[in-house]
Amino acid sequence: MNSIVIARYNESLDWVVNIPSDFEIYIYNKGVPVSDARIIDRADHIIDRQNVGRESETYIHHMLTKPRKDNSFTVFTQGDPFTHSPDFLPLLQNWRQWDSLQPLSWQWQSDHNIPPATLLAEYERRLGGRLRVRPERFSLSSWSPPDFIDEGALATSRDYCELHGSPREGENVASDFLRKCGLDELADKASAHSFGVFCYGAIFAVRNDLIANWPRQSLEITYQATLGRAVYGYMLERMWLHFFGAEFDTPVASRVPAEQPLPRQAAVELDDPKAEPSMVERDDDIVSFQVEELRDTAEKLRIEISELREALKTQAVLDQRAIHDVASAIRNIPGVVRPKRLFISTGYFATAVAATLASQQGTATDDYLLITIDRQAAEGNTQWAYQMSDRWAAVHTVGHHEYYENNAGFSNPFNCNFDEVYSSHFHMAGFVRHKFPASRYAFYEEGLSTYSQALNVRVQDNNTRFYALSPKIARAASIVSQPVDVKLLTQLLEKSINCYSIPIFEKPHNIVMLAMGIPPNIAASPSHSFEACEPAAKMLRAAGFDVWLKPHPRAPIDDLFGNSSLAAAGVRLLETDAPLIEPVILANRQAISAVVSVYSSFLVHSYPLFDIPAFRIRSPVMDRMQAIWKSLQDSSVPDVDMLLGATPDSIPSIARSFHNTSVNQIGKLGRRM
């Protein structure tokens, strides 16, 4: 049975119900969910995918995951085929007339005002007794069609050459790209020709046995290209027909005999393939062919001149890390299996740090994320994980009880082995090694508890690392600490600002107070999370600051705050659906004078991450572990009493003074713990 693969973002799929019944329908959905009952009923498969890699990622994902080796057809199309193929549905009905590789588009853009009767007449004209849809020619060097200037196509060639340099002598852009995809034989053919053929919109049909001929290792490499720079998607759009056997056009330095019809002429003669061209037509075609060769040569020279100019611009600096990552993805994949890394997260903040680590260490691996859920929503954590990074190979959640407490029956949910495993709890190292055997293990911070464990653990393996935002706090530990890229973490968090409802402070001098968490083993009123803030709040209000209280995500206080003494003192409740305080801070960074709390891991990172001074409130905490973590916090954060009599302009100097006098005391505290 034939099949059709639809790469859909948010296009209307009403037309799907009219696809002939002899097609099995795969809808790969990268946008809003498909909710139309008619479409759901007609489609055989609706598969939700991340919105990455354009239609090329969808096409190759299908080839990799749904391999078939038979004589039936697979049709590949975007969610709206009619822009490039107004008669797409009639074309499907006539699949028995197709060639083994069949282009299914025949125009760059459609005029939606054309009457249906006119389109039908054009379709019947093209049918001509045997259905033929003409592919378009394009230069294998400039990427542009020979008949007009396509600025977008020229930009594709320029972008590719900026990434990889000009193709070496005897090569062109197409052959260089094909070699990087592991298709040397096809690259040799491309290097010997000047033009290729493509169909607009990447809409075509191909017999499955031709797809099966594409070597899987090359398919894997090319799939990785779809996840890299956008230019690779545009490259693939023009190469699809050649991947499956279409011949290249116009051998390099060849002359076409006058008595032979030119390739371009043969493609145009759709109505009467037996008609002999006149001598005038032949001469015209020879002239046209020579003009096209001159255009192609001129375009090559223009590209080379442009590259020389760019080389002379000393201010133009390419992102070398991105180039390295993409090049590694295309050229250096070891076989068909990439190294796999697992990050075990304890929730929102740890997930943000894990995404930062995965990014700062490069993308030559497949990264997996396991989130242990403690009084949080699995759905929200998963959504946040993909907001922090869209490169996760898979994300799973597991309950706190199932992972930390009653974990005898816990098993690896990913069904694969890992080369590296990153986790946050040192005391769970034995459990992690048992459940996730790997060649290397590392730790990364999820809060102050991780620093406390790092200072007390005795690590024998000198290759084990602890990745931290403030590695100086753990400098007395036996484990070697490495810095997390603070700037990169901030950039990832900034991406989430537009994903949530975040208040914007109207006045310039604001203090953000953070309520502390309540341990799950303590039966306490949620009001205990903020009551100790009252004296400091009144002092700061009297000094003219606007004071906001941010509830702890695990201790909701909406029903209590309105009648609290804090509210009576003029403190406002900071309400947001963002799972962390960081997006709120980033959105209001210039208007925040300081952050204050009894106990919060955020206090330790506020100054180094956001350049916002943080101050602690002296108050007992609720259990022994919180007391240990708070003592670690207090060693690096000044007391809020230092703000007595302070003005907004004086707060930064107060914070700097404390920092400069206390920086050498941090390690001493660590040795005593």
| Residues β-bridged to residue 441 | 421
Q: What is the pLDDT of residue 415?
A: 86
Res 287: pLDDT:
54
pLDDT given at position 169:
86
H or E element at residue 285: helix 279-312
Residue 29's alpha-carbon distances to 137, 230, 241, 464, 653, in angstroms, are: 31, 19, 24, 41, 53
Q: In b/e form, how buried is each residue of 505-516, taking b as 16+ CB within 10 angstroms?
A: beeebbbbbbbb
Sheet holding 572-573, edge to edge: 572-573, 546-550, 510-514, 592-597, 614-616
- pLDDT at residue number 621: 83
Question: Long-range pairs for 48-52 at CB < 8 Å and ≥24 separation?
Answer: 50/386, 50/390, 51/9, 51/390, 52/226, 52/227, 52/390
- Taking the chain (673 residues) in runs of 10, the rounded mean pLDDT of each run is 95 94 95 93 93 91 93 95 90 92 75 41 42 71 82 88 87 94 94 91 94 92 87 91 91 47 32 40 51 65 62 45 46 59 96 95 86 90 94 93 88 92 93 93 92 85 87 87 92 92 93 89 83 91 93 85 90 93 94 94 90 92 85 89 88 86 52 41
pLDDT at 665: 54
Note the CATH architecture for domain 338-493.
3-Layer(aba) Sandwich (3.40)
Q: Give the model's pLDDT for residue 634.
A: 87
pLDDT of the residue at 379: 92
Residue pair 96/25 in contact by the 8 Å Cβ criterion: no
Query: SS3 breakdown of the chain: % helix, strand, coil, rounded to 5?
Result: 45, 15, 40
Q: Domain spanning 503-672 has what CATH number? A: 3.40.50
CA 174 to chain centre: 26
In this structure, are strands 73-78 and 204-207 parallel, antiparallel, or unpaired?
A: antiparallel
Cβ atoms 623, 603 nearer than 8 A: no
**Is-contact 421 436, C-beta < 8 A?**
yes
In sequence order, what E strands does 85-173 have? 101-103, 136-139
Q: How much is the pLDDT for 525?
A: 84
For residue 197, the surrounding DSSP H or E stretch is strand 193-198
Helix (H) or strand (E) holding 352: helix 348-360
Name the 3-class secondary structure at 443. Answer: strand
Predicted pLDDT at 319: 44
Q: Which residues pair with 370 in a beta bridge?
A: 344, 396
Please report the pLDDT score of residue 288 as a whole number. Answer: 56
Helix (H, G, I), strand (E, B) or coil at 20: coil
Query: Which helix or strand (DSSP H or E) is residue 603 part of?
Result: helix 601-610
Q: Considering the chain, tell me which residue range(s) the CATH 3.40.50 domain(s) occupy.
A: 338-493, 503-672
pLDDT of residue 408: 86
User: Cα–Cα distance between 492 and 458 in angstroms, integer?
Assistant: 33
Q: Which of 113, 417, 78, 69 is nearest to 214 (CA)?
A: 69
